[in-house]
Amino acid sequence: MHAVEIYDTTLRDGAQGEGISFSVEDKVKIALKLDKMGFHYIEGGWPGSNPKDAAFFQRIRKYRLENARIAAFGSTRRPGGEAATDVNLQKLVEAGVPVATIVGKTWDFHVTHALQTTLPENLAMIRDSVAYLKRKGLTVFYDAEHFFDGYKANPAYALATLQAACAGGADVCVLCDTNGGSLPSEIAGIIGELRRELSVPLGIHCHNDGELAVANTIAAVHAGAVQVQGTVNGYGERCGNANLCSVIPNLTLKCGFPTIPREKLAGLTELSRYVSELANLHPAAQQPFVGASAFAHKGGMHVSAILKDPRTYEHIDPELVGNRRRVLVSELSGFSNLLYKFKELNLNVAPGEEARQILEKIKELEHQGYQFEGAEGSLELLLRKVCQGYREPFKLENLKVIIELKENSPVYSEAIIKLTVGDRVVHTAAEGNGPVNALDNALRKALNEFYPAIRNMQLTDYKVRVLDEKDGTGAVVRVLIETGDGQCSWGTVGVSPNIIEASWQALVDSIAYGLLKVQERPARENPVNEMRA
């Protein structure tokens, strides 16, 4: 199997995805992470298009990368112009990077309709631009835009564009499925034909409009492509790009192609979540290999089988890509789910009638509207209360929420709370920009003195789901809360016809579970001194 170079374009093509905007600092952090993972090339952006990308190339020079080479992206010279005086090409040189990737037209339809120039002039633009950058001492990758559509429409001309890039000295010709509509069989067949005509190494750059970007990329590598371009999490314009978090483990673990160092694969899940955090996007739970649900098991028959051998329902060991196995407990759970959960949490419960009663209790709660799949914090607290005589860190005595609405005035929200903590009673109040925020503020204010660790706990997500829409404003609602403390995150749930009560249940569990996790951590890992009670 031939080696495959991994070329990441998250910072340029990925940033073109809807809702994604990386700061210069974000781009530097991601680049350093990719370098640590052993990626071969990192495309930093288009220095001729915006000040942010130009600033990135200035900043990244200060770092000594161990594995990756930084590439700058641009396009061929303008029609009728000279490569030596083309502003965009000059910006590529000025970026001070060792690699330039330039995009050119290979579909005759685009040449005549988008560029509005002649077919011979387009060939000259490609050849001149590559040759100019080569004279400047750069490694040059030629991105053949819309190649597969162009080849299917006019194979002779599409091939001529690659030959023009080769004449200019291109180091790799990268074939782009820009509209993302090709099929794996088409990709493999066309690359097979090209390899008989060209000696230059070929790369592949696929978009995901047909949800085949990963499959097309793998097909291209099997057909002879030696460079793969893609993005972390498949971010990109429209439906995104080939997802490197799936491409890399498929090529390495399933196909046997050397990509990044094998020992680095265990960092893929962390990389995926790190980039999604900087992109300000929630990680996709169902994402293969690195998603939170990628190795999550819910059906009782499935869990019974993986208890005997995980290979029964897992295509790889999740630890190979830095992920972990999860067993979900819900109304669909069997006895095996609960036994797995007891073992995972180190709870000593005999697999008898007591355990079955707990399972029935969970199923009844889910029938009422609770959902423990996304609220494992609430589930663990429930199990500990039943199995270990778990002691709650505080007890509610009284709670009052005041909402005042006046015409032409902001809504006023205040929560007044009385708690028992140990042998003390705490009575306090706090305002908020809404009733739930006021609840949160009052609870934290009351507990700060006793549990300093809550200062590190931040609510990161809050969702409300109406369970019985037909009941209108009297419907039961489910509140799911996600909380994090910088070291881990957890979900909790509350259910009630009253949204304040449901929110309170989820908030209480979020704080209680966070305190439990802090107690369980070794002292050296705790960000705060041991809690006082």
Note the pLDDT of residue 529.
39
d(CA 427, CA 183): 66
Q: Cβ distance 193 to 222 under 8 Å?
A: no
- Quick one: pLDDT at residue 376? 84
pLDDT of residue 527: 41
- How much is the pLDDT for 291? 94
Q: Where are the alpha helices (DSSP H) in 297-371?
A: 300-308, 335-344, 353-368
pLDDT in tens, the chain (533 residues): 899 999 999 999 999 999 999 999 999 999 999 999 999 999 999 997 889 999 999 999 999 999 999 999 999 999 999 999 999 999 999 999 999 999 999 999 999 998 999 999 999 999 999 999 999 999 999 999 999 999 999 999 999 999 999 999 999 999 999 999 999 999 999 999 999 999 999 999 999 999 999 999 999 999 999 999 999 999 999 999 999 999 999 999 999 999 999 999 999 999 999 999 889 888 898 999 999 889 988 777 887 888 788 899 999 999 999 998 887 765 555 566 767 777 777 776 655 666 677 777 777 787 787 777 668 888 888 888 877 667 889 999 999 999 998 888 888 999 999 999 999 999 999 999 899 999 999 999 999 999 999 999 998 888 898 887 677 777 899 999 999 887 788 989 999 999 999 999 999 999 999 998 888 765 444 443 333 33
- Residue 31 has φ and ψ, to the nearest 5°, of -60, -45
DSSP state of 466: E
Residue 374 tokens read as: 């996304």
- Contact, 282 vs 276, CB < 8 A? yes
- 173 residue type, one letter: C
d(CA 106, CA 171): 17
Residue 196: Cβ-neighbour burial (10 angstroms; 0-12, 13-18, 19+): exposed
Question: Bridge partners of 481?
Answer: 462, 492
Residue 139's nearest CA partner among 83, 69, 198 is: 69
CA trace torsion 444, 447, 453, 455 (10° rounding): 30
Contact 453, 468 (CB under 8 A): no
d(CA 468, CA 474): 9
Write down the pTM of the prediction.
0.75
Each residue of 261-290: b (16+ CB within 10 Å) or e? eeebbebbbebbbbbbebbeeebbeebbbb
Contact 521, 403 (CB under 8 A): no
How far is the C-alpha of 458 from the C-alpha of 463, rounded, in Å? 15
What amino acid is encoded at 370 in this protein? Y
Torsion angles phi and psi, residue 205, rounded to 5: -140, 105
Element (H, E) at 417: strand 412-421
CA–CA separation, 228 and 234 (whole Å):
13
User: CA-to-CA distance for 129 and 127, rounded, in angstroms?
Assistant: 6
Domains of the chain: 5-260 (3.20.20.70), 351-384+457-527 (3.30.160.340), 394-450 (3.30.160)
Residue 120 phi/psi, 5-degree rounding, is -65, -40
User: What residues pair up with 463 in beta bridges, in sequence order?
Assistant: 480
Q: Are 265 and 248 in contact (CB under 8 A)?
A: yes
Helices (H) and strands (E) in the chain, counts: 17, 16
Q: Which residues contact 246 (CB under 8 A, 6 or more apart)?
A: 214, 234, 287, 288, 289
Look-up of token digits 């015409």: 407
pLDDT score at 373: 66
Tokens of 262: 């094998």
**C-alpha separations of 243 from 71, 154, 453 in Å:** 19, 29, 38
